[in-house]
Amino acid sequence: MVAKDAGVPQTNETVTDIWSVLGLRLAKTKIQALECAVVEIQLQQAVGRARLLEDDCKVHLFSNYVLSGRELWRKNRRRVSRGTLDRALRIMDSLLKELDQREIPLELVDDRQMSTQISVLGETFGVCIEEVFDRVERKLTPAQEAEKKRHPWMFDRPEYDRLPTGNLVLRLKNGEYGYGRANWRDGKVQRLESLLNKFIVALFKCAVDKRSARIEREEAEVLRMAESRRKEELRKLQEQERTRLAQLLKDVEAWHQSQKIRAYASAVVAHAEKNEGTDSGQELMEWVSWVSQQADRIDPLCKSPYSVLDETISYW
């Protein structure tokens, strides 16, 4: 069956005028939200006529309006057997209504680990219903028994079948461990339907614990980053201090070297005065002047005079 413009909310002027006449005078956005709700109910009823819980069939919906429960039904069907699907969907429907009454937002995402996500106190959790399956070793057929006698190595690893038990488990996935209880399941007496309120209470407790842990991690990260910055600044200061100290020792050594040169020049002059006539006075004065220039070039406290050594020779 194909309906023209099925699932297409309309917000034309005629609709607005109708609501205005009724005295509601709602904004277009509110009118559209109301129309979407009506369309969703109609689409759910249309899909429900296929009796999906009784018959194994597929429904192809051609509409630009997306039903909110489509992924939830498809995902959970993989986790429960056919005989338990009806009950699992009723439990999930009751849970979603309870969450909606408490204004807990729910989101369906394309995530195999947490396809149905709920947000509580700013923390995100995944929720799903699964059936407990027994793991039973698969019996070999007569042909396989004969094959096993001829080639036993082909049957080293036994194969198992998953047998449904009818017991359901409501799982709360938070991606981490240590945040209280994470599973609620059928027992010998209690049924999962009676544990939904406990699940929601535990959900808020888990959100508080998870939020506290997250805040502690963030505070620890802030302290770690501050300590890292302090160490980096200290490293730079130490590097600068080592550079200054090395320059100081170099200057002191150069100053001592210049003083030694000057002392040596004075000793040469004194020796020449005692042994007059050994060297000509002009040559000695030129030598003393050259020595003084070299001492000034080394001395960090003096301005370095020009030297031929300052020139650069290019070989290109």
pLDDT-derived band of residue 28, with 50, 70 and 90 as boundaries?
Answer: low
Q: Are strands 123-137 and 183-185 parallel, antiparallel or unpaired?
A: unpaired
Give pLDDT tens digits for 155-181: 788 888 888 888 898 888 765 554 556
- For the chain, how many structural domains are there in total? 3
73 and 51, same structural domain?
no
278 in a structural domain: yes
Please tell me whether residues 179 and 268 are part of one structural domain: no
State percent of the chain over pLDDT 70.
71
Rounded to two decimals, the pTM is 0.49
- On whether residue 50 sits in a domain, the answer given is yes
**Token pair in block for residue 46:** 């249309």
Domain boundary (216, 231, 255) is at: 216
Residue 115 confidence class, pLDDT cut points 50, 70, 90: low
Is residue 225 one of the residues assigned to a domain?
A: no
The Cα-based distances of 114 to 39, 111, 147 in angstroms read 28, 5, 43
pLDDT of residue 62: 62
Give domain status of residue 228, yes or no: no
What is the SS3 assignment for 107?
strand
Q: Does residue 291 form part of some domain?
A: yes
Of 6-10, 192-196, 221-225, give the range with the top mean pLDDT. Answer: 221-225
Largest CA distance in the chain: 133
For residues 279 and 87, the model is more confident at 87
Cα gap 271→284, rounded to integer Å: 11
Q: Does residue 83 sit in the same domain as residue 204? A: yes
From 33, 67, 101, give the residue that closes a domain: 67
Answer yes or no: is 222 within a domain.
Answer: no
CB distance 39 to 64 below 8 Å: no
Do 132 and 33 lie in one domain? The reply is: no
Q: Is the CB of residue 265 less than 8 Å from the CB of residue 273?
A: no
Print the domain residue range for 261: 244-304
My answer on whether 170 and 286 are in the same domain is: no
Q: Are residues 94 and 45 in the same domain?
A: no
Q: Which of 46, 67, 88 is the last residue of a domain?
A: 67
Pair 58, 73 in one domain:
no
Q: pLDDT tens for residues 255-302?
A: 999 999 999 999 988 888 887 655 567 888 889 999 999 999 999 998
Q: Are strands 160-173 and 183-185 parallel, antiparallel or unpaired?
A: antiparallel
Rounded CA separation 110/26 (Å): 35
CA distance 170 to 131: 9
Identify whether residues 291 and 260 lie together within a single domain: yes
Domain for residue 310, yes or no? no
Q: Are residues 205 and 185 in the same domain?
A: yes
Query: Are residue 86 and residue 144 in the same domain, yes or no?
Result: yes
Tell whether 135 and 167 lie within a shared domain.
yes
Same domain, 182 and 287: no
**CB-CB contact of 195 with 168 (8 Å):** no
| Cα–Cα distance measured from residue 48 to residue 312, given in angstroms and rounded to the nearest whole number | 94
Residue 267 in any domain: the answer is yes
Distance CA 186, CA 214 (A): 32
